[in-house]
Amino acid sequence: MKQESALMRGPNDPGLQNPSRRTLLLGSAGAMAAVSVLGFTPLAKADEPKSLPDYAAWKERNALIVHSANTMETQRGAIGNGVITSSDRLFVRNNLPAPPASVTDNPDAWEVRIEGVKNPRNLTVGDLKQMGVTTVASVLQCSGNGRAFFPHGASGTQWSVGAAGCIMWTGVPLKDVVEALGGPVDGTRYITSTGGETLPDGLDPKTIIVERSVPTRAMETALLAWEMNDEPLTHTHGGPLRMVVPGYYGVNNVKYVKNVAFTENQTDAKIQASGYRVRDVGVKGAPDQPSMWEMNVKSWVTSPLESGQNGRNMIYGVAFGGTVPLEKVDVSVDGGKTWKQARFLGPDLGPYAWRPFVLAADLAAGEHRIVSRATDVQGNTQPEGRTENERGYGHNGWSDHGVTVAIS
């Protein structure tokens, strides 16, 4: 893998080490046996050994919390202060077994079908590379990031804050592809992307397939990506080709994308029809409930996390606005009683990227509850509390995301 830059690591990097981190070991897809939210047996249960599975063995083990073989989050202290998340520290979330790792041996040969346009056709990644190219920085965040804070015990991986990262994606703008194929047919309202994961035999594909629909307004920013952080998209993160929808929750960024269709209605696949729907605790998912599409404004502190020194302390964190640029981040060292505006760090990489921030604070001996509160340019501000919901989705309440630090 390429040598990482200070831009990716940040000035306050914890310096975690792993002797194998430079070795890219794309293990067999067999390590990624079936999962989880769609009703499969988890790849590894929470009480099993927390070693990295073969397909993710190239990642920095000490920077990750391994929940299972298909769910790994970045430790809070390993997020750092960089504007871009290092690939070997980025969280992992898989819904199904991946296609064979050999699909990345010749990535330009991978095919995707474009439908619901006036001239539908199959295109290889090689074809797509001749149709346009762009690079976009955007936050990739699991819908359940922050689920661990819900008191009712929301089912699913108990993510804290580390199911998120900021990534540089390179690929072709979806709108360029669609224009080259004559534009969408009349009456389309959704972009429906289908993943190329291996489907277990004997089950109705619609109950397990990764197939997500987003509103056609997303076409303005969506891209079909073949690079992540200036390197070929790894098998671990959806290579050779991934649908990327900047500002939308991770499930909509479909891995191993094999089909993109412009459709009048949302897909009836379970992951869309009843999955990733926001509803009251105890209520089953249904198509008429809000879907996990655009992300909300959010921030959290990344340092200090447990202790600090009497006197001047530098408080670091990250913040983002989903599809809306940030205006400011305020930080409180007394649990939200008083606030001071933090300063953004590093370059602004656009409305979909996160902004690291810092506040210099003089802290007296004792315990301090440090919290952050982001506000976007439209005036949307993180709430204090959480919105209770069955699956613990979309949590951006600033109170739960704070840290208690002992100053001595």
Tokens of 273: 């029809």
Q: What is the pLDDT of residue 87?
A: 98
* Confidence band for 397, pLDDT divided at 50, 70 and 90: very high
Using an 8 Å Cβ cutoff, are 54 and 100 in contact?
Answer: no
Task: Assign 3-state DSSP to the chain and report helix, strand, coil percentages, each to 5.
Answer: 15, 30, 55
The 8-class DSSP code of residue 21 comes to T
3-class SS of residue 296: coil
Tokens of 54: 């073969």
The helix (run of H) or strand (run of E) holding residue 179 is helix 174-180
Q: What is the pLDDT of residue 13?
A: 41
Tokens of 284: 């089953």
Q: What is the pLDDT of residues 6-59, one digit of tens each?
A: 333 333 343 333 333 322 222 223 323 332 333 333 333 444 447 899 999 999
3-class SS of residue 75: coil
Tokens of 88: 């070997």
Read off the pLDDT of each residue in 257-271 and give the average, rounded to a whole number. 98
Which of 320, 310, 298 is closest to 371 using CA atoms?
298
Q: What is the pLDDT of residue 200?
A: 87
Question: What's the CA gap between 176 and 391, in Å, rounded?
Answer: 36
The dihedrals phi and psi of 328, each to the nearest 5 degrees, come to -165, 165
Using an 8 Å Cβ cutoff, are 60 and 18 in contact?
Answer: yes
In order of start, what are the domains of the chain with their CATH numbers? 101-273 (3.90.420.10), 298-407 (2.60.40.650)
What is the chain's Cα-based Rg?
21
Q: What is the pLDDT of residue 140?
A: 98
The dihedrals phi and psi of 258, each to the nearest 5 degrees, come to -115, -20
User: Which residue type, as a one-letter code, is found at position 347?
Assistant: P
Share of the chain above pLDDT 90, in %: 85
Bigger pLDDT: 51 vs 75: 75
Using an 8 Å Cβ cutoff, are 77 and 104 in contact?
Answer: no
Question: What's the CA gap between 244 and 93, in Å, rounded?
Answer: 15
The dihedrals phi and psi of 362, each to the nearest 5 degrees, come to -90, 115
Q: What is the pLDDT of residues 89-147, one digit of tens each?
A: 999 999 888 889 999 999 999 999 999 999 999 999 999 999 999 999 999 999 999 99
Chain centroid to CA 274: how far?
20
The pairing of beta strand 307-308 with beta strand 257-263:
unpaired
